[in-house]
Amino acid sequence: MKSIRNLIIVAITVTIIGTSIFFVNSNSTRATDESAVFEDLGRYIKSLKEDEKEKRNLTNEILDKNQYLILIKFYQNNEPTMTTDEAKEIALAQIIEETAIKEKAKELSIFPSQEEVTARVQEERFKFENANDEDPDNKQVQEMLNSLMKGLGMNADEYWGSYVPTGYEFTISQEKLYEEVTKEITEVDQKNEKWNTEKENYIGKFKEVYKDEISELKNN
Protein backbone atom coordinates (compact mmCIF):
# COMPACT_ATOMS: atom_id res chain seq x y z
CA MET A 1 0.00 0.00 0.00
CA LYS A 2 1.04 3.57 -0.63
CA SER A 3 3.18 5.12 2.10
CA ILE A 4 1.25 7.39 4.47
CA ARG A 5 3.99 10.02 4.42
CA ASN A 6 1.96 12.14 1.98
CA LEU A 7 -1.18 11.54 4.01
CA ILE A 8 0.39 12.79 7.20
CA ILE A 9 1.66 15.85 5.35
CA VAL A 10 -2.01 16.61 4.72
CA ALA A 11 -3.27 15.40 8.08
CA ILE A 12 -0.83 17.51 10.08
CA THR A 13 -0.26 20.62 8.02
CA VAL A 14 -3.81 20.95 6.83
CA THR A 15 -4.85 21.28 10.44
CA ILE A 16 -2.20 23.89 11.16
CA ILE A 17 -3.67 25.52 8.07
CA GLY A 18 -2.09 23.19 5.70
CA THR A 19 -0.53 23.22 2.35
CA SER A 20 1.90 20.76 0.89
CA ILE A 21 4.99 22.85 1.59
CA PHE A 22 5.79 20.82 4.70
CA PHE A 23 8.06 17.83 4.35
CA VAL A 24 9.67 15.33 6.68
CA ASN A 25 13.42 15.50 6.34
CA SER A 26 14.34 12.10 7.71
CA ASN A 27 17.92 12.43 6.53
CA SER A 28 18.70 15.30 8.89
CA THR A 29 16.41 14.66 11.84
CA ARG A 30 15.88 11.49 13.83
CA ALA A 31 12.35 10.21 14.36
CA THR A 32 12.67 10.67 18.12
CA ASP A 33 13.61 14.31 17.61
CA GLU A 34 10.70 14.83 15.24
CA SER A 35 8.30 13.26 17.73
CA ALA A 36 9.52 15.64 20.43
CA VAL A 37 9.11 18.58 18.06
CA PHE A 38 5.52 17.63 17.26
CA GLU A 39 4.62 17.05 20.90
CA ASP A 40 6.01 20.50 21.71
CA LEU A 41 4.04 21.96 18.81
CA GLY A 42 0.89 20.27 20.06
CA ARG A 43 1.36 21.77 23.52
CA TYR A 44 1.89 25.19 21.97
CA ILE A 45 -1.29 24.90 19.88
CA LYS A 46 -3.21 23.75 22.94
CA SER A 47 -2.00 26.74 24.95
CA LEU A 48 -3.15 29.12 22.22
CA LYS A 49 -6.52 27.46 21.93
CA GLU A 50 -7.04 27.62 25.68
CA ASP A 51 -6.51 31.36 25.46
CA GLU A 52 -8.23 31.69 22.09
CA LYS A 53 -11.06 33.97 23.13
CA GLU A 54 -8.68 36.58 24.51
CA LYS A 55 -6.30 36.35 21.57
CA ARG A 56 -9.07 36.66 18.99
CA ASN A 57 -10.09 39.91 20.59
CA LEU A 58 -6.65 41.25 19.75
CA THR A 59 -6.84 40.61 16.02
CA ASN A 60 -9.23 40.76 13.11
CA GLU A 61 -11.72 38.19 11.94
CA ILE A 62 -10.42 37.59 8.43
CA LEU A 63 -6.88 36.56 9.44
CA ASP A 64 -6.31 34.16 12.30
CA LYS A 65 -3.49 35.36 14.55
CA ASN A 66 -3.33 32.04 16.40
CA GLN A 67 -2.71 30.16 13.18
CA TYR A 68 -0.06 32.71 12.22
CA LEU A 69 1.75 32.15 15.53
CA ILE A 70 1.45 28.37 15.15
CA LEU A 71 2.98 28.48 11.69
CA ILE A 72 5.88 30.61 12.87
CA LYS A 73 6.69 28.09 15.60
CA PHE A 74 6.17 25.20 13.19
CA TYR A 75 8.73 26.51 10.71
CA GLN A 76 11.23 27.43 13.40
CA ASN A 77 10.93 23.97 14.96
CA ASN A 78 11.44 22.16 11.67
CA GLU A 79 14.08 24.46 10.21
CA PRO A 80 16.48 25.34 13.06
CA THR A 81 18.55 27.62 10.82
CA MET A 82 15.52 29.72 9.89
CA THR A 83 15.43 33.16 11.47
CA THR A 84 12.33 34.51 13.17
CA ASP A 85 11.86 37.07 10.40
CA GLU A 86 12.07 34.35 7.74
CA ALA A 87 9.55 32.20 9.60
CA LYS A 88 7.21 35.17 9.94
CA GLU A 89 7.47 35.95 6.23
CA ILE A 90 6.67 32.39 5.18
CA ALA A 91 3.87 32.07 7.73
CA LEU A 92 2.28 35.34 6.63
CA ALA A 93 2.41 34.34 2.96
CA GLN A 94 0.79 31.02 3.79
CA ILE A 95 -1.99 32.59 5.87
CA ILE A 96 -2.71 35.10 3.11
CA GLU A 97 -2.80 32.48 0.35
CA GLU A 98 -5.05 30.08 2.22
CA THR A 99 -7.45 32.76 3.40
CA ALA A 100 -7.63 34.25 -0.10
CA ILE A 101 -8.48 30.82 -1.54
CA LYS A 102 -11.23 30.19 0.99
CA GLU A 103 -12.71 33.65 0.53
CA LYS A 104 -12.78 33.20 -3.26
CA ALA A 105 -14.51 29.84 -2.85
CA LYS A 106 -17.15 31.52 -0.68
CA GLU A 107 -17.57 34.26 -3.28
CA LEU A 108 -18.23 31.67 -5.98
CA SER A 109 -20.50 29.62 -3.69
CA ILE A 110 -18.27 26.55 -3.90
CA PHE A 111 -16.95 26.59 -0.34
CA PRO A 112 -17.18 23.02 0.98
CA SER A 113 -20.14 22.03 3.11
CA GLN A 114 -19.73 20.44 6.51
CA GLU A 115 -20.81 17.13 4.96
CA GLU A 116 -18.07 17.36 2.31
CA VAL A 117 -15.43 18.13 4.90
CA THR A 118 -16.57 15.31 7.17
CA ALA A 119 -16.51 12.83 4.29
CA ARG A 120 -12.97 13.86 3.35
CA VAL A 121 -11.74 13.59 6.92
CA GLN A 122 -13.22 10.11 7.25
CA GLU A 123 -11.61 9.08 3.97
CA GLU A 124 -8.17 10.33 4.98
CA ARG A 125 -8.42 8.83 8.45
CA PHE A 126 -9.30 5.44 6.95
CA LYS A 127 -6.29 5.61 4.62
CA PHE A 128 -4.02 6.62 7.45
CA GLU A 129 -5.17 4.01 9.91
CA ASN A 130 -5.12 1.21 7.32
CA ALA A 131 -1.72 1.93 5.84
CA ASN A 132 1.08 -0.62 6.10
CA ASP A 133 2.58 -0.10 9.55
CA GLU A 134 5.61 -2.21 8.63
CA ASP A 135 6.85 0.57 6.36
CA PRO A 136 9.54 2.59 8.25
CA ASP A 137 8.15 5.87 6.92
CA ASN A 138 4.68 4.95 8.09
CA LYS A 139 5.92 4.03 11.56
CA GLN A 140 7.80 7.32 11.78
CA VAL A 141 4.86 9.52 10.87
CA GLN A 142 2.55 7.52 13.12
CA GLU A 143 4.87 8.36 15.99
CA MET A 144 4.87 12.00 14.97
CA LEU A 145 1.07 12.14 14.82
CA ASN A 146 0.77 10.38 18.17
CA SER A 147 3.16 12.95 19.62
CA LEU A 148 1.14 15.82 18.15
CA MET A 149 -2.06 14.38 19.66
CA LYS A 150 -0.31 13.90 23.01
CA GLY A 151 0.77 17.54 23.01
CA LEU A 152 -2.75 18.62 22.05
CA GLY A 153 -4.21 16.48 24.83
CA MET A 154 -6.47 14.70 22.34
CA ASN A 155 -7.26 11.10 21.51
CA ALA A 156 -7.62 9.96 17.89
CA ASP A 157 -11.38 10.56 17.74
CA GLU A 158 -11.00 14.09 19.09
CA TYR A 159 -8.12 14.83 16.72
CA TRP A 160 -9.89 13.64 13.59
CA GLY A 161 -13.33 14.77 14.69
CA SER A 162 -12.74 18.27 16.03
CA TYR A 163 -9.22 19.35 15.11
CA VAL A 164 -8.66 18.17 11.56
CA PRO A 165 -11.85 19.30 9.74
CA THR A 166 -11.16 23.05 9.63
CA GLY A 167 -7.98 22.53 7.66
CA TYR A 168 -9.76 20.59 4.95
CA GLU A 169 -11.89 23.63 4.19
CA PHE A 170 -8.84 25.09 2.47
CA THR A 171 -7.84 21.86 0.73
CA ILE A 172 -11.28 21.25 -0.76
CA SER A 173 -11.77 24.94 -1.61
CA GLN A 174 -8.54 24.89 -3.60
CA GLU A 175 -9.51 21.70 -5.41
CA LYS A 176 -12.90 23.15 -6.36
CA LEU A 177 -11.42 26.44 -7.54
CA TYR A 178 -8.86 24.57 -9.62
CA GLU A 179 -11.62 22.60 -11.32
CA GLU A 180 -13.69 25.73 -11.85
CA VAL A 181 -10.99 27.83 -13.50
CA THR A 182 -9.57 24.99 -15.63
CA LYS A 183 -12.76 23.22 -16.69
CA GLU A 184 -12.44 24.35 -20.31
CA ILE A 185 -8.78 23.23 -20.58
CA THR A 186 -7.68 19.65 -21.28
CA GLU A 187 -3.85 19.84 -21.28
CA VAL A 188 -2.40 19.43 -17.79
CA ASP A 189 0.41 21.98 -18.14
CA GLN A 190 -2.03 24.56 -19.44
CA LYS A 191 -4.39 23.78 -16.58
CA ASN A 192 -1.63 24.37 -14.06
CA GLU A 193 -0.49 27.55 -15.76
CA LYS A 194 -4.05 28.90 -15.76
CA TRP A 195 -4.53 27.95 -12.12
CA ASN A 196 -1.28 29.56 -10.99
CA THR A 197 -2.22 32.78 -12.77
CA GLU A 198 -5.70 32.85 -11.25
CA LYS A 199 -4.39 32.01 -7.80
CA GLU A 200 -1.95 34.92 -7.92
CA ASN A 201 -4.85 37.15 -8.95
CA TYR A 202 -6.88 35.99 -5.96
CA ILE A 203 -3.97 36.64 -3.62
CA GLY A 204 -3.23 40.03 -5.15
CA LYS A 205 -6.82 41.22 -4.82
CA PHE A 206 -7.02 39.88 -1.28
CA LYS A 207 -3.91 41.85 -0.33
CA GLU A 208 -5.42 45.01 -1.75
CA VAL A 209 -8.73 44.62 0.09
CA TYR A 210 -7.22 43.55 3.40
CA LYS A 211 -3.97 45.50 3.40
CA ASP A 212 -4.71 47.06 6.80
CA GLU A 213 -5.52 43.70 8.40
CA ILE A 214 -2.37 42.15 6.90
CA SER A 215 -0.27 45.02 8.20
CA GLU A 216 -1.82 44.64 11.65
CA LEU A 217 -1.05 40.93 11.76
CA LYS A 218 2.46 41.42 10.42
CA ASN A 219 3.35 44.11 12.95
CA ASN A 220 1.58 42.62 15.94
Condensed to tens digits (0 to 9), the pLDDT of residues 78-130 reads 788 889 999 999 999 999 999 999 999 999 999 999 999 999 999 988 888 88
pLDDT value at residue 177: 97
Q: Is the pLDDT of residue 214 over 90?
A: yes
Give the pLDDT score at 192: 97
Instruction: Indicate the pTM of the whole model.
Output: 0.80
- Separation of CA 30 from chain center: 23
Q: How many other C-beta atoms can be found within 10 angstroms of the C-beta atom of residue 216?
A: 15
Q: Show Cβ contacts of residue 102 under 8 Å, excluding neighbours closer than 6 positions.
A: 111, 169, 170, 173
pLDDT band at 153 (very low <50, low <70, confident <90, very high): very high
pLDDT at 155 over 70: yes
Kindly report the average pLDDT of the chain as a whole number: 82
Q: What is the pLDDT of residue 6?
A: 45
b or e along 24-35 (b: 16 or more beta carbons within 10 Å of the residue's beta carbon)?
beeeeeebeebb
Average pLDDT over residues 161-172: 89
pLDDT, residue 18, reads 39
